[in-house]
Chains A and B, each alone.
Chain A
Amino acid sequence: MTEKENVLSRKFEIQGKDFSRAGSISSKIKEILQETGISNSIIRRAAIATYEAELNVVMYADKGILYFSLDPDSIRLKIDDKGKGIKDISLAMKEGYSTATEEYREMGFGAGMGLPNIKKNADKFTITSRVGKGTTLEILFCLNNSEVL
């Protein structure tokens, strides 16, 4: 945990396949944001995107790290996972495309909506992936209508 020059940073570890704890980090981040006075609509978008990203690590990767930072102009999330990676990112970004197992579908997820929903909620979203290594998501939310992209 570091706090300097009006930047609040947190680092969270996500355990792959640990479905029971999926979402706990998103809840924590939501609580942090609710203490800051940021508008509810931004908090909600950030919470949804964080939850989707967290679920993706749980469902598809062995483990991951979520970096969260908050400064006066933006909320930034970076999710680095160690896993099988994504072969075709443009395909993965299509609504409805999914490689989820039947087990995860029965749990209510894996409908191929996660990545598109992150993009929809974020002000800026980038995804990079290496097959056999892992995937990195970078998600940004602007505060106060500031131009920080």
Chain B
Amino acid sequence: MTLKEIIHLLQAELICGESHINDNIEFAGGSDLMSDVLAFAKPGILLLTGLSNSQSVRTADIIEAKAIVYVRGKKPDPEGLKLAKKKDIPVLLTEFMMYTACGLLYSHNLPGVYSESDKKS
């Protein structure tokens, strides 16, 4: 699924990283807890979060996320946005709640990050 399709699906606004609009996203994960993101994420992830401080962008950079989606009307703080622009990480804003945003993406065949619990189900 391309970033452009994700923007459409989530009725999202892209506030930086426009050059990546046709990039392909293969999987996603959602969390407000960056500790967990650092532990489970894989390179290329689409990160959905409601955490708007600059550490959300810093974490996305460290884990090599392909893009960040801020859910439930959140947006990165100015320092975070500056960092996203510097690191060339696309940032999307959606009004959807985390559950709905993840559900929409999943139901349109964007899988989650593989985990042991996925394997059991």
Interface residues of A (CB under 8 A from B): 19-20, 22-23, 26-27, 30, 40, 44, 47-48, 51-52, 107-114, 116-117, 120
Q: What sequence of 0s and 1s flags, for each residue 1-41 of chain B, a beta carbon within 8 Å of any chain A beta carbon?
A: 00000000000000000000000000000001111101100
Q: Are A114 and B61 in contact (CB under 8 A)?
A: no
B51 CB-CB contact with A under 8 Å: yes
How many of chain B's residues touch chain A, expressed as a range? 20 to 34
**Least CB separation from B61: chain A residue:** A27
CB neighbours of B53 from chain A (8 A): 19, 107-108
Dominant SS among interface residues on chain B: helix
Cα distance, A120 to B41, chains bound together (Å) = 13
Dominant SS among interface residues on chain A: helix
Closest chain-B Cβ to A52's Cβ sits at a distance in Å of 6
Q: Are B64 and A108 in contact (CB under 8 A)?
A: no
Q: Are B58 and A51 in contact (CB under 8 A)?
A: yes
Closest chain-A Cβ to B80's Cβ sits at a distance in Å of 10
Interface residues of B (CB under 8 A from A): 32-36, 38-39, 43, 49, 51, 53-56, 58-59, 61-64, 79
With A51-B38, A114-B35 in contact, do A108 and B56 touch (Cβ < 8 Å)? yes
**Least CB separation from B87: chain A residue:** A27
Number of A-B contacts (CB under 8 A): 65
Closest chain-A Cβ to B90's Cβ sits at a distance in Å of 18
Partner among A26, A108, A112 whose Cβ is within 8 Å of the Cβ of B62: A26
Closest chain-A Cβ to B81's Cβ sits at a distance in Å of 14
Cα distance, A116 to B56, chains bound together (Å) = 20
CB neighbours of A112 from chain B (8 A): 35
Cα distance, A3 to B53, chains bound together (Å) = 36
Residue contacts A-B, CB under 8 angstroms, 20 given: A19-B53, A19-B55, A44-B43, A44-B62, A44-B63, A44-B64, A48-B38, A51-B58, A51-B62, A108-B32, A108-B35, A108-B49, A108-B53, A111-B33, A111-B36, A113-B38, A113-B39, A114-B35, A116-B39, A117-B38
CB neighbours of A51 from chain B (8 A): 38, 58-59, 62
With A44-B43, A108-B56, A109-B55 in contact, do A30 and B62 touch (Cβ < 8 Å)? yes
Partner among B34, B36, B54, B59 whose Cβ is within 8 Å of the Cβ of A20: B54
Q: Are B79 and A108 in contact (CB under 8 A)?
A: no
CB neighbours of B64 from chain A (8 A): 40, 44
Closest 4 CB pairs of A and B: A111-B35, A23-B58, A108-B34, A113-B35
